[in-house]
Amino acid sequence: MTRNKLKFMGLLVSSALLVACGEKNVEQAAVESSEAAIESTSEVTESAGSTSEAPEDGNIFAQMPKNFTFASGAGAWATSLKLSEDGSFVGGYHDSDMGDSGDGYPNGTIYVCGFSGKFSDPEPTEYQNIYSMKLQELNIDDKDKLNTEEIIDEVKYVYSEPYGLENADELLIYTPGAPLSEIPEECMSWTTLSSSVSDVVPDGYYIIYNVHDGEAFNGMIDGCIWTRDFKYENGDAYANFSPRCSGSYLVFIAEEDTPASFSVKVPWDGKNEDSMVCESYWHDDGDDTKVKVTVKKDETSEPNKLKYVLKLEHVSDPQFDFSAWGSDEPGKLSAVFEEVKYE
The reply to whether 1 falls in a domain is no
* pLDDT (0 to 100) of residue 24: 36
* pLDDT (0 to 100) of residue 4: 42
Q: Are residues 128 and 242 in the same domain?
A: no
Across the strands, what pairs with 205?
Answer: 220
Q: Flag whether pLDDT at 294 surpasses 60.
A: yes
- Among residues 202, 220, 238, the one where a domain terminates is 220
pTM: 0.82
- Among residues 220, 239, 258, the one where a domain terminates is 220
The reply to whether 18 falls in a domain is no
The reply to whether 85 falls in a domain is yes
Instruction: Read off the pLDDT of residues 63-78 as tens digits, 9 standing for 90 and up.
Output: 999 999 999 866 679 9
Burial annotation 215-249 (CB, 10 A radius, 16+ → b, else e):
bbbbbbbbbbbbbbbbebeeeebbbbbbbbbbbbb
Do strands 248-253 and 260-266 pair parallel, antiparallel, or not at all (unpaired)?
antiparallel
Q: What is the DSSP letter of 305?
A: B
The reply to whether 13 falls in a domain is no
Q: Are residues 269 and 177 in the same domain?
A: no
198: containing domain? 24-220
Q: How many domains does the chain have?
A: 2
* pLDDT (0 to 100) of residue 283: 57
The reply to whether 10 falls in a domain is no
Q: Flag whether pLDDT at 42 surpasses 50.
A: no
Q: Flag whether pLDDT at 25 surpasses 90.
A: no
- Contact status, residue 95 vs residue 2, Cβ threshold 8 Å: yes
Do strands 230-234 and 276-280 pair parallel, antiparallel, or not at all (unpaired)?
unpaired
Q: How far is CA 15 from CA 191, 219, 226, 243, 309, in A?
A: 13, 11, 9, 12, 24
The reply to whether 306 falls in a domain is yes
Q: How many residues does the chain have?
A: 343
